[in-house]
Chain A
Amino acid sequence: EAQVTQNPRYLITVTGKKLTVTCSQNMNHEYMSWYRQDPGLGLRQIYYSMNVEVTDKGDVPEGYKVSRKEKRNFPLILESPSPNQTSLYFCASTLTGTTSSYEQYFGPGTRLTVT
């Protein structure tokens, strides 16, 4: 089954404690992306990756890091989480680099709470 998986689904942590949210897709997609969803703001892009070893900032990259060492995986790293990073996070992938033509497939989401 074609899918995007994320782990963990729920996470409660404290300020400053480094964490990683994993994302994996089994569709051999080149393009992967991270979004955060906040009430009244919709989804905003954090980082994206066009292919292995190619990443770039989205609209709200501050406080986040990513890596793309393998085509299927695109982890999101919060080196020193802060309460304003409390949000619902979604990983997405699509076949190729431009998002205008192909459907993006979304993971189930990771709800992060930073206290």
Chain B
Amino acid sequence: GDSVTQMEGPVTLSEEAFLTINCTYTATGYPSLFWYVQYPGEGLQLLLKATKADDKGSNKGFEATYRKETTSFHLEKGSVQVSDSAVYFCALSDWGAQKLVFGQGTRLTINP
């Protein structure tokens, strides 16, 4: 079945550092890929998405590129802020599917 694997956390960085959170997937069809973010005490919010190979999703300075050849969707940000501290989930949804398949989540802490 479909699955998503994220890099193990937690991840701790200093403000203005470069961020990469790795995400790889396995899927039988042609999935759409998502990054969701969960701030403390809140539900998940969509951060960005890509629906086909080579698409780049971007939002709030975060980017991720759908790489079909490496089955990856790594999240990057050039300069993180304290307010980026949250849990990040990579997810996929196969075409016609009725659910999102989530990775295990990566907790990110940014220190001033």
Report which A residues bind B (CB closer than 8 A).
4, 31, 33, 35, 40-45, 48, 50, 56, 58-59, 90, 92, 97-101, 103-104, 106-109
Chain B interface SS verdict (over half): loop
A28 to B98, CA, bound (A): 18
Inter-chain pairs besides A100-B31, A108-B41, A108-B43, 7 sampled, C-beta below 8 Å = A33-B98, A92-B44, A97-B98, A99-B93, A100-B93, A104-B46, A104-B100
A55 to chain B, nearest CB (A): 11
B51 to chain A, nearest CB (A): 7
* Interface size of B in residues (CB-CB distance below 8 Å): 25
Q: Whose C-beta in chain A lies nearest to the C-beta of B1?
A: A59
Residues of B within 8 A of A100 (CB): 31-32, 51, 93-97
